[in-house]
Amino acid sequence: MQFGLAAFFPVAALAVLSAAFCTAAPAEKNPGQSSFGAGRYVEYVAGDLPIVLAAPHGGRLKPDSLPNRTNGVTEMDANTQELARAVADEFFARSGHRVHLVASHLHRSKLDPNREIKEAAQGHPAAERTWAEYHAAIRGALDAAIARHGFAFLVDLHGHSHPVARLELGYALGAKQLAVSDSAFDAAGLVAVSTLSDLHARLGGRASALVRGSGSLGDLFAQRGLRAVPSPSEPGPGAGPFFDGGYTVRRHAGGDTPKVDGLQIECYRTGVRDTAENRAKFARIAAEVLSQFVEEHYPFKFPAK
Ligand SMILES: [Zn+2]
């Protein structure tokens, strides 16, 4: 099945490509069913759980019809599309239900969906169209989750090659913002611009606890043996390189996105995404962690298969 922009946008609005026009939800599809955009560059696997997984940098297609991008990062995040599918499969194995999954099949040298359109597509109309389809698919998946559950949780999955082998959790909070005490972090009100803003507005409490305290996603990963930042033992990344959350999570789960929260997860390679066995192991942990976090912060229970 193909979806086109027309499924998401009025035709007259296509040229505008503005988030303001992404409000129409697509017709609900059967969970597990894939649909594709033009050229089969964007795949959307329909879900019925409140989690939306995105894999922007795991694509391998390099069609001649699209020019190579000439600036910005052009290397893929190796095996991250496979990693996202492993996580999606694990949710299905546990619950009998599906997360939503949006994947770019284009190699990053052709399109970087995790950038604003200018850097992402570098002026090529077909790449711009694919970029718009990718983000319309995410918005459509979030809308479907909100319609069914009242909320959506977006997980944008990446791979990094930084020197420290730890998961980098991107809440749109940078290293400097995290390099302060919990009291200073709470007083600064930074959570309001983070990708956990809705959750914090609803639950209240200490923002630092939500981001890096007991029961935070970093804590839940660390409890299962996966080093993660921010977390109780590593409240901030320090001086080294750190991905704090890119275009996708800021656009779709940032401070101005009602009923949507989430994060970017940057995975190191060895032991997490290098082999099918390690991807399956990470997938089991990630599904456990995300399920626990969602159940502890939302009025939602994942079905047991
Ligand atoms: Zn990436």
Instruction: Give distance in angstroms: CA of 73 to centre of ligand 1.
Output: 9
Instruction: Give distance in angstroms: CA of 258 to centre of ligand 1.
Output: 25
- Model confidence over 190-227: pLDDT tens digits? 999 999 999 999 999 999 999 999 999 999 999 999 99
Q: Residue 16 — very low, low, confident or very high, per pLDDT cuts 50/70/90?
A: very low
Q: Average per-residue pLDDT in the chain?
A: 92
Looking at residue 13, what is its pLDDT?
37
Number of domains in the chain: 1
Flag the least confident range among 11-20, 25-34, 225-234, 238-247.
11-20
What percent of the chain lies above the pLDDT cut of 70?
91
Instruction: Give distance in angstroms: CA of 77 to centre of ligand 1.
Output: 5
Looking at residue 8, what is its pLDDT?
43
Instruction: Give distance in angstroms: CA of 53 to centre of ligand 1.
Output: 13
Q: Residue 20 — very low, low, confident or very high, per pLDDT cuts 50/70/90?
A: very low
- Residue 305 within any structural domain of the chain: no
- Residue 103 within any structural domain of the chain: yes
Instruction: Give distance in angstroms: CA of 183 to centre of ligand 1.
Output: 32
- Say which residues have a Cβ less than 8 Å from residue 114's Cβ, sequence separation at least 6: 56, 57, 120, 156, 158, 246, 247, 248
Instruction: Give distance in angstroms: CA of 205 to centre of ligand 1.
Output: 32
Q: Residue 277 — very low, low, confident or very high, per pLDDT cuts 50/70/90?
A: very high
Mean pLDDT of 26-53: 92
- Which pTM was predicted? 0.92
Instruction: Give distance in angstroms: CA of 143 to centre of ligand 1.
Output: 24
pLDDT value at 247 more than 50? yes
Mean pLDDT of 103-129: 98
Alpha-carbon distance 154 to 144, whole Å?
12
Mean pLDDT of 128-157: 98
Instruction: Give distance in angstroms: CA of 299 to centre of ligand 1.
Output: 31
Instruction: Give distance in angstroms: CA of 156 to centre of ligand 1.
Output: 9
- Residue 205 within any structural domain of the chain: no
Instruction: Give distance in angstroms: CA of 112 to centre of ligand 1.
Output: 9
Q: Where are the beta strands (DSSP E) in the chain?
A: 34-36, 42-45, 51-55, 100-104, 152-159, 167-170, 228-229, 260-267
Q: Residue 11 — very low, low, confident or very high, per pLDDT cuts 50/70/90?
A: very low
Note down the domain range covering 115.
5-176+238-297
Instruction: Give distance in angstroms: CA of 25 to centre of ligand 1.
Output: 27
13 vs 101, higher pLDDT: 101
Instruction: Give distance in angstroms: CA of 273 to centre of ligand 1.
Output: 13
- Residue 102 within any structural domain of the chain: yes
Instruction: Give distance in angstroms: CA of 157 to centre of ligand 1.
Output: 7
Neighbour-count burial of 65, counting CB atoms closer than 10 A to its CB (0-12 exposed, 13-18 middle, 19+ buried): exposed
Q: Residue 27 — very low, low, confident or very high, per pLDDT cuts 50/70/90?
A: low
Instruction: Give distance in angstroms: CA of 182 to centre of ligand 1.
Output: 29
Instruction: Give distance in angstroms: CA of 82 to centre of ligand 1.
Output: 14
Looking at residue 15, what is its pLDDT?
38
pLDDT value at 12 more than 60? no
CATH of the domain at 95: 3.40.630.40
- Residue 201 within any structural domain of the chain: no
Looking at residue 3, what is its pLDDT?
57
Instruction: Give distance in angstroms: CA of 158 to centre of ligand 1.
Output: 4
Neighbour-count burial of 127, counting CB atoms closer than 10 A to its CB (0-12 exposed, 13-18 middle, 19+ buried): buried
- Residue 254 within any structural domain of the chain: yes
- Residue 53 within any structural domain of the chain: yes
- Residue 228 within any structural domain of the chain: no
Mean pLDDT of 280-300: 98
- Model confidence over 157-166: pLDDT tens digits? 999 999 999 9
pLDDT value at 7 more than 80? no
Flag the least confident range among 5-19, 85-99, 172-186.
5-19
- Label residue 90 left, alpha or beta by phi (over 0 means left) and psi (-120 to 50 means alpha): alpha
pLDDT value at 87 more than 70? yes
Q: Residue 233 — very low, low, confident or very high, per pLDDT cuts 50/70/90?
A: very high
